[in-house]
Amino acid sequence: MIRRTSQDIRRLNRFEVLRRVYAGPGAMSRQDVAAATGLSFATVANLTAELLEAGVLVEAGHEESGGGRPRARLAVNAERGALIGVDIAETSVHAELFDLALTVRHSVERPLPPGDVRPSDVVDALAGAVGELLAASGTDRARVLGAGVSVPGMVEREGGVSSFSPYWSWHEVPLRALLDERLGLPLWLDNPLRASTVAEMWCGAGREVDDLVVLTLRAGVGAGIAIGGQLYRGFTNSAGEWGHTCLALDGRPCTCGNRGCVEAYVSLRGIAETWRELAPGDARATGPDDAVTVAALARAADAGDPAAAAAIDRIGRYLGAPVATLVNLVNPQVVVVGNQVVDLLGERLLPVAYEAVGRHALALPHRAATLCRSTVPHNPVTLGAATFALEGFLDDREVFGPVSRMRKAAKGGAGAGG
Amino acid sequence: MIRRTSQDIRRLNRFEVLRRVYAGPGAMSRQDVAAATGLSFATVANLTAELLEAGVLVEAGHEESGGGRPRARLAVNAERGALIGVDIAETSVHAELFDLALTVRHSVERPLPPGDVRPSDVVDALAGAVGELLAASGTDRARVLGAGVSVPGMVEREGGVSSFSPYWSWHEVPLRALLDERLGLPLWLDNPLRASTVAEMWCGAGREVDDLVVLTLRAGVGAGIAIGGQLYRGFTNSAGEWGHTCLALDGRPCTCGNRGCVEAYVSLRGIAETWRELAPGDARATGPDDAVTVAALARAADAGDPAAAAAIDRIGRYLGAPVATLVNLVNPQVVVVGNQVVDLLGERLLPVAYEAVGRHALALPHRAATLCRSTVPHNPVTLGAATFALEGFLDDREVFGPVSRMRKAAKGGAGAGG
DNA sequence: GATCTTATTCGAAGGGTTGGAAGAAGAGCG
DNA sequence: CGCTCTTCTTCCAACCCTTCGAATAAGATC
């Protein structure tokens, strides 16, 4: 039922080549790319020619040669266009403008009203943020190649519909339709898990690797899965919902209505809750903002507070078991953990968690998997959202046609077009 | 790093076409296959021509036509050759002979000595069973296209090495090397999880579906995952190890040395254990053979024993939560449950389990997934093992060369061979 | 400036799929 | 029986993609 054509090969190879150039430490030659991808040199030359023609890559000088023709250095043409990545979170909308090299150029954050946010609130905040972004950076809207938007919960990607939100009582909200005319930009919707994963694939530990799991730990938690170098979406684009894995039968109540979910233990809220359990009288553990509480926990632990240390120890064990589940089930090459929880607690939490993973996972998949912290700078969700836009642009048949078209263009000149 | 060539497309399409013929209710025309696979008619004609020439398919009469040329019926040529599937289990070796249509022709079972079985014991039993199989069925060894062997635990497939066995103290046992000369047959090794999965893909619910999870519940438990119509193996061929998912922090001890694993609750042993917990005095629950105990549990429940009913209820809940984990994480189209536990307890256990899955899984992936019992007849592990041999045969470049070779052969006749 | 060495480009070949024309095979009817 | 109609199959040319190897380009070195 899955249609496989040779053009898919082309498309994947195009992605692969470009990803290597992004990955490269700034000086990637065609030779390097060929070696790294395993493609023949001719193919790499083909693909880079196409990417050069499209303006996505540029040749930036030459490497030094020890005799013989020097290799041309390939680089991403950051100025080819702009990308926008938007992270819709529980309390705010965060929008960032990237250049084509995926470096942040401008950043805007707009708060959302507290409580049950309506779709129109989000649309207003988002459109406002994007407008501000463009104005502040002096970017012409026409130069923006696309905008990626991350919406929490379940997203029907093709239709651009948010079919379920964990925070607000949204059902089947047609976000794309609502945003389309307000933005006037090619739009790509998905959720934070998949955005973070794609960010890792282009800019993080996923660059070198085919089978990858990316853990997103913030207000909600979940996993993104990449298999064979491609994001795995599942049958209805909801694969990777790891947050509601049962960690403890009849355990803590979770926002999903169930008990004992992973999310109830290792989300920001779950972490705060564990601290409260272990430090009943501690006022620092009782604030309304979980992120603040977790930051306080980190400080308390650093200051040698024994209850805080005990809490982190326990949280690490809570985290280790379900990570081991992932390792056993997916058998990935790399597991990346990232986002707020890790930013706040990483130093202390991860060693404990890693050790717990070792106890729970089977030897073979455990040995095979490298666990690491995300090295993606800044907010992986906005970056990933922008990457969706980048991928969308790379799929544009107007820009990247079949090879024969190129050959014809090269031969026939500007002749009988149409 | 993954090399993608157009020949892979060909290979996958060949599989796809053949799988449809296996799936078909006995009368599949080229037209039907084209419609079912989404391939163009020309391609289907191409591929069937190749399969006909190789003798894998035959044309078996014509469909009735209401005017117009009647469609040719395609069928698998059962007599093209034989396949052997072997299931190495804890206490016995089960070997079966299949024809090419994957129907069982002969079946042999040999006990293994109790305790810590040596590799040579297994090799002897296996070689003996295969010999008996061939002798009893009067099959010439040369007619056997290959043998698939399922070994519990971790298997290094390429090298044919059993790198870890959960029952015996095996480490890096080179089974292929040991078996090769004894059998003199093309050999394919893997584990029961993946064997069952492949069996479902060719003969069960997986025929119609691209994203699939197959649960194997017997002495050990685990999942097989198929994605995009292909078995997913993970980085080191150990994906799907679901049995040691943590179900209850600090719960029951498991054979793996850990606590609270799924396997400790829903394997044959785990089920017996639960019954013992709930019916402390019941002698039926204390036998040495877990399969016998579980069968007794089924009878007790059928007879209206309240403790047995309570046990099944609880086991169903134990099963539901980790199945929901799979549903959330993999977001498959179908989840098939099968093997001994289901054979013995299915009627009573599965409804309870299904209900528990509904409570634990998220709405969207839960709605997307159909849970069903395996419809594969007989032992899915031997069948799956034989299917590995079938797949191996279909990959044989001697038999299924590139298209151009066919075209040449058709044109040039029997001329300048070599 | 000739020679060496290495990088790119180019063209032909090889592997695949597909749409459409041409051939094949029954059914129906005069 | 032969013609026509309909539908299935085969065959061919067109197209897409990768890759090998020869030819060409571009510095370094002597």
Spatial distance between the Cα atoms of B6 and A135, rounded to a whole number of angstroms: 47
Residue B172: list chain A partners with CB under 8 A.
none
Instruction: Render pLDDT for A270-287 as a digit per residue (tens, 0 to 9).
Output: 999 999 999 988 889 988
Nucleotides of C under 7 A from a protein CB: 4-11, 14-20, 23-28
Per-residue pLDDT at B116? 85
Q: Which helix (H) or strand (E) holds A58?
A: strand A57-62
Instruction: Render pLDDT for A121-171 as a digit per residue (tens, 0 to 9).
Output: 999 999 999 999 999 999 999 999 999 999 999 999 999 999 998 888 888
B415 has a pLDDT exceeding 60: no
Which residue among B1, B236, B245 sits closest to A331, beta carbon to beta carbon?
B236
Reported confidence tier of residue B2, pLDDT bands at 50, 70, 90: low
Work out if B61's Cβ lies within 7 angstroms of strand C: no
Per-residue pLDDT at A410? 58
Strands in B171-173's sheet, in edge-to-edge order, are B154-156, B161-164, B171-173
Q: Give B159 to chain A, closest Cα distance, Å.
A: 16
**Lowest-confidence range among A17-21, B58-62, B230-234, B292-296?**
B58-62
Which residue among B3, B37, B333 sits closest to A38, beta carbon to beta carbon?
B3
Length A402 CA → D15 C1' (Å): 10
- Tell me the count of A-B CB pairs closer than 8 A: 181
Mean per-residue pLDDT of chain A: 91
Nearest Cα neighbor of A30 from A68, A64, A59 is A59
Instruction: Render pLDDT for A293-346 as a digit per residue (tens, 0 to 9).
Output: 999 999 999 999 999 999 999 999 999 999 999 999 999 999 999 888 889 998
B416 has a pLDDT exceeding 80: no
Per-residue pLDDT at A1? 57
Work out if B9's Cβ lies within 7 angstroms of strand C: yes
A54 has a pLDDT exceeding 70: yes
Reduced to 3 states (helix: H, G, I; strand: E, B; else coil), residue A409 is helix
Interchain contact, B329 vs A258, CB within 8 Å: no
Q: Residues A201-225: what's their mean pLDDT?
A: 93
Is B209 in contact with B170 (CB distance < 8 Å)? no
Which residue among B37, B247, B329 sits closest to A329, beta carbon to beta carbon?
B329
Reduced to 3 states (helix: H, G, I; strand: E, B; else coil), residue A418 is coil
Q: Residues A172-185: what's their mean pLDDT?
A: 93
Q: Which residue segments constitute the domains of chain B, with CATH numbers given?
A: 6-76 (1.10.10.10), 80-196+379-394 (3.30.420.40), 205-373 (3.30.420.40)
A333 touches chain B (CB under 8 A): yes
Q: Residues A88-99: what's their mean pLDDT?
A: 94
Nucleotides of D under 7 A from a protein CB: 5-12, 15-21, 25-29
Reported confidence tier of residue A347, pLDDT bands at 50, 70, 90: confident
Per-residue pLDDT at A417? 33
**Lowest-confidence range among A122-126, A399-403, B135-139, B141-145?**
A399-403
B414 has a pLDDT exceeding 70: no
Interchain contact, B223 vs A329, CB within 8 Å: yes
Per-residue pLDDT at A408? 58
Interface of B with A in 128-157 (CB under 8 A): 154
Residues 6+ apart with CB under 8 A from B329: A223, A225, A239, A240, A241, A242, A245, A326, A329
Work out if B321's Cβ lies within 7 angstroms of strand C: no
Reported confidence tier of residue A396, pLDDT bands at 50, 70, 90: confident
Residues 6+ apart with CB under 8 A from B177: B160
B43 touches chain A (CB under 8 A): no
Q: Give A142 to chain B, closest Cα distance, Å.
A: 36
% of chain A residues with pLDDT over 90? 74
Per-residue pLDDT at A4? 79
A397 has a pLDDT exceeding 90: no
In order of B53, B73, B397, the CA distances from B49 in angstroms are: 6, 13, 16
% of chain B residues with pLDDT over 90? 75
- Nearest chain B residue to A7, by CA: B6
Per-residue pLDDT at B256? 87
Spatial distance between the Cα atoms of A113 and A125, rounded to a whole number of angstroms: 10
B410 has a pLDDT exceeding 60: no
Which residue among A235, A251, A321 sits closest to B333, beta carbon to beta carbon?
A235
Instruction: Render pLDDT for B286-344 as a digit per residue (tens, 0 to 9).
Output: 888 999 999 999 999 999 999 999 999 999 999 999 999 999 999 999 999 988 898 99
Per-residue pLDDT at B417? 33
Spatial distance between the Cα atoms of A1 and B212, rounded to a whole number of angstroms: 14
The overall longest dimension of chain B from CA atoms, in Å, is: 81
| More confident: A112 or B115 | A112
Interchain contact, A239 vs B331, CB within 8 Å: yes
Per-residue pLDDT at A76? 94
* CA atoms in the 13 A half-sphere facing the CB of B76: 22
Reported confidence tier of residue B70, pLDDT bands at 50, 70, 90: confident
B407 has a pLDDT exceeding 80: no
B398 has a pLDDT exceeding 50: yes
Nearest Cα neighbor of B4 from A296, A8, A281 is A8
Strands A161-164 and A171-173: antiparallel
B368 has a pLDDT exceeding 90: yes
Nearest Cα neighbor of A226 from A258, A204, A257, A249 is A204
Among protein residues, the one whose C-alpha sits closest to the C1' atom of D14 is A404
Strand D: residues with CB below 7 A: A 6-7, 9-10, 13, 39-40, 42-43, 46-47, 62, 64-70, 402-405; B 3, 5-6, 29-31, 41-42, 45, 48-49, 65, 67-72, 410
Per-residue pLDDT at B402? 74
